[in-house]
Chain A
Amino acid sequence: MSSTFLRYIAQRVVQCILVIFIGITITFLVPRFSPTDPVEAAVNRAMMMGQYSHPDAVRMMKEALTKMYGLDGTLGQQYIRFWKGLLSGDLGPSLSSFPKPVMSLIRTSLPWTAGLLLVSAIISWTVGNLLGCLAGYFGNQRWSQVIGMIAMALHPIPYYIMAFVLLVALAYVIPVFPIGGAVDIGLKPSLGWIYISSLLRHAFLPALSLVLIGVGGWFIGMRTLVTNVVAEDYVTYAKYAGVSDRTIMYQYVMKNALLPQITGLAMQIGLIFNGALITEYVFSYPGLGYLAYNAIFTGDYSLIMGVAIFSIVGVSLAVLLIDLAYPLFDPRVKYQ
């Protein structure tokens, strides 16, 4: 445990807290400074349902909603109450599934998003970097150029379009995979093959769309990094000394080129998360993205707030985890 190591850890933790602080403050301020009023919107929505409401009932409903959304009192009081609620894990009840608390809805969705994100991020990071390393190391070979072209064609496609095209192609036109959901309806969670295979079949397309885009990005990044590392003096020195190609590629080139890609993963996890949300919506995958879509659809303000807050906290913690793992790979941070 050296002082640089400790300073590094402290820096990362502070950064993580700051991200959470900034993000949550934005979510707090947005509804309070927007030209529209969430209470008004909810009331209008209720009236549009066609029920006749007595003006007194409307007034009471407004008061109740204002209280429920924490919009009563001064801005300072609201802000303190907002944080108190968060820290005690209370995000209020959901309007669309009243009186279910927002927290419990998020709790059931979170594992699906986390699973999808984790699996697809790991697969695309590993595959993309491995291929990128080979392509960068062996330079101008035909296969590396072909993969490069494919990567460049896949990577820039927005997550929504990719997911949508896959859905159309492999669930509608050639119905190999299910159109949506996480498992076949009515299946009880178990460790049996039927459940697991249904799980995998449902997760395949959402994961694939995230992986296809992800692999391209990591591939292109890694290829550039490797071509730079190959030109480093220590690689040339080892090459001249006759060290075997395998050792040079894995121990000299890849291990060094991967370091910026680890930092890159931390910096991009937010972007990948955005992709996961939208992919879930396309495939009706029951994670946070689908929850957010339902909340938009039903006008559930507290639920959207909850999803936003949880996304910020979850992503920040994931970033922190990767940052804390980084010293394991870079001795310059670990030992002084």
Chain B
Amino acid sequence: MLKVENLKAYYQTEMYGVSRNVRAVDGVSLELQKNEVYGIAGESSCGKTTLIRTLFGAFDPPLRVVEGTVTYSLDGESVDVTKIQGERLRQIRWKQVSYILQGSMSLLNPVRKIRKTFWDFTRAHEPITDAEKFEAMARNHLNRLGLPAQVLDSYPHQLSGGMKQRVAIALATLFEPKVILADEPTTALDVIVQRGVLQLLKRIQRETQSTLVIVTHDMGIHANIADRVAIMYAGRIVEEGRVKHIFGDPLHPYTKHLIESLPKIGDKSTRTSIPGAPPNLGDPPPGCRFHPRCPYAEPICRRESPHLAAVANDRRVACFLVTTKENAHVS
């Protein structure tokens, strides 16, 4: 469905004499299948949002794709969204690939009724010939997602946070896209509302057999909804695998930390948090980017950067501890 190869996307700025080159996505490769939920996890500012934006072909200066490809196979045709622009990109967006961006509280125009916003989003891709038909379509779509048709008459401030997010999801799924990219779709919502929104996303994905990419720092959500999970650290994927493998047997030290920091029922011990802070992506450390915070770091980790290597079927990890052990096994 989607293949990403060695993607590098940097923020390049020059202001008041300070020039910066933030390597937010620095050599990411991944492959997505039809009808799966793919989770991307990591701390804030590890490059997850930049990655998902780039998957949508949405890079405006200062963000630039320096290297790599993002290729969708749509109706037997392959399209690299880092190479196309304008009308061609517009045709793919929403009808084929949709993107629910972060900020569920502010995705809707505060001075426009929801109906008008639906109208704008619909008309962007299909001519509306008949107001009544449009009305029926909008109501029908909301109904299918379990939303009351009255929201059409509301302004955003009249809706609750969860409702706003559902409306944003409804807008993103107007045309049954093949790929839905969702960035932190449940942050800022309370736990019960979160569950409802996640179930809605999952249901849409299952009904339309689409691919859902979900970016969140919340490992609990990944455990709940994802089929496969990628862990990002400092602009790179450090581990990727089936959800049960990642949670059952995390290989990368960073993944271990993330999972250990999850609360477990009946466990009264205090959560260990990772010492140190994520690196500055304007000036990342040499070698493995995790080594300054890694309790198992060895000399090689300071010098060389580990590749994301397949260690088993459907399992990739970028860590010398793991790969050299494997290699030792093989030889």
**Nearest CB in chain B to that of A236: its residue:** B101
Closest chain B CB from A244 CB (angstroms)? 7
Bound-complex Cα distance A235 to B111 (A): 12
Residues in chain A near residue B107, CB distance under 8 A: 233-234, 237
Closest chain A CB from B101 CB (angstroms)? 6
**Nearest CB in chain B to that of A329: its residue:** B111
Residues in chain A near residue B90, CB distance under 8 A: 242
Q: Mask for B102-136, Cβ within 8 A of A = 1, else 0? A: 11001111111000110011011100000000000
**Nearest CB in chain B to that of A330: its residue:** B111
Cβ-defined contact, A242 with B94, below 8 A: yes
Residues in chain A near residue B121, CB distance under 8 A: 238, 241, 243
Answer yes or no: B171 CB below 8 A from chain A CBs. Answer: yes
**Nearest CB in chain A to that of B107: its residue:** A237
Residues in chain B near residue A332, CB distance under 8 A: 110, 155, 157
Residues in chain A near residue B93, CB distance under 8 A: 240-242
Closest chain A CB from B163 CB (angstroms)? 15
Residues in chain B near residue A235, CB distance under 8 A: 109
Tell which of A14-22, A52-60, A250-258, A287-295 binds the partner.
A250-258
Cβ-defined contact, A240 with B116, below 8 A: no
Answer yes or no: B168 CB below 8 A from chain A CBs. Answer: yes
**Nearest CB in chain B to that of A256: its residue:** B111
Residue from A234, A329, A335 in contact with B109 in the complex, judged by beta carbons closer than 8 Å: A234
Residues in chain A near residue B125, CB distance under 8 A: 242
Residue from B102, B106, B109 in contact with A252 in the complex, judged by beta carbons closer than 8 Å: B109
Answer yes or no: A228 CB below 8 A from chain B CBs. Answer: no
Cβ-defined contact, A240 with B58, below 8 A: yes
Answer yes or no: A336 CB below 8 A from chain B CBs. Answer: yes
Closest chain A CB from B21 CB (angstroms)? 21
Cβ-defined contact, B158 with A336, below 8 A: yes
Answer yes or no: B233 CB below 8 A from chain A CBs. Answer: no
Closest chain A CB from B118 CB (angstroms)? 11
Bound-complex Cα distance A331 to B112 (A): 8
Closest chain A CB from B289 CB (angstroms)? 29
Interface of A, secondary structure class, is helix
Closest chain A CB from B54 CB (angstroms)? 13
Closest chain B CB from A254 CB (angstroms)? 10
Answer yes or no: A37 CB below 8 A from chain B CBs. Answer: no
Could you give 19 example pairs across A and B, Cβ below 8 Å? A233-B106, A235-B109, A236-B101, A237-B108, A240-B56, A240-B93, A241-B172, A242-B90, A243-B120, A243-B123, A243-B124, A247-B120, A251-B112, A252-B109, A259-B111, A331-B111, A332-B110, A332-B155, A335-B158
Cβ-defined contact, A241 with B171, below 8 A: yes
Residues in chain B near residue A72, CB distance under 8 A: none
Residues in chain A near residue B38, CB distance under 8 A: none
* Contacting residues of chain B (180-235) with chain A, CB-CB under 8 angstroms: none
Cβ-defined contact, A238 with B120, below 8 A: yes
Bound-complex Cα distance A256 to B109 (A): 8
Residue from A251, A259, A331, A336 in contact with B120 in the complex, judged by beta carbons closer than 8 Å: A251
Residue from A242, A256, A336 in contact with B110 in the complex, judged by beta carbons closer than 8 Å: A256
Cβ-defined contact, B124 with A255, below 8 A: no
**Given contacts A233-B107, A237-B168, A242-B125, A252 and B112 within 8 Å (CB-CB):** yes
Cβ-defined contact, B112 with A244, below 8 A: no
Residues in chain B near residue A240, CB distance under 8 A: 56, 58, 93-94, 99, 101
Known A237-B101, A251-B112, A256-B110; 5 more pairs at CB < 8 Å: A247-B120, A256-B109, A331-B110, A332-B110, A336-B158
Cβ-defined contact, B155 with A232, below 8 A: no
Closest chain A CB from B51 CB (angstroms)? 16
Residues in chain B near residue A232, CB distance under 8 A: 106
Closest chain A CB from B245 CB (angstroms)? 34
Q: Which of B107, B108, B125 has the most CB of A within 10 A?
A: B107
Cβ-defined contact, B116 with A251, below 8 A: yes
Bound-complex Cα distance A241 to B96 (A): 11
* Contacting residues of chain B (127-181) with chain A, CB-CB under 8 angstroms: 155, 157-158, 168, 171-172
Residues in chain A near residue B120, CB distance under 8 A: 238, 241, 243, 247, 251
Bound-complex Cα distance A247 to B122 (A): 13
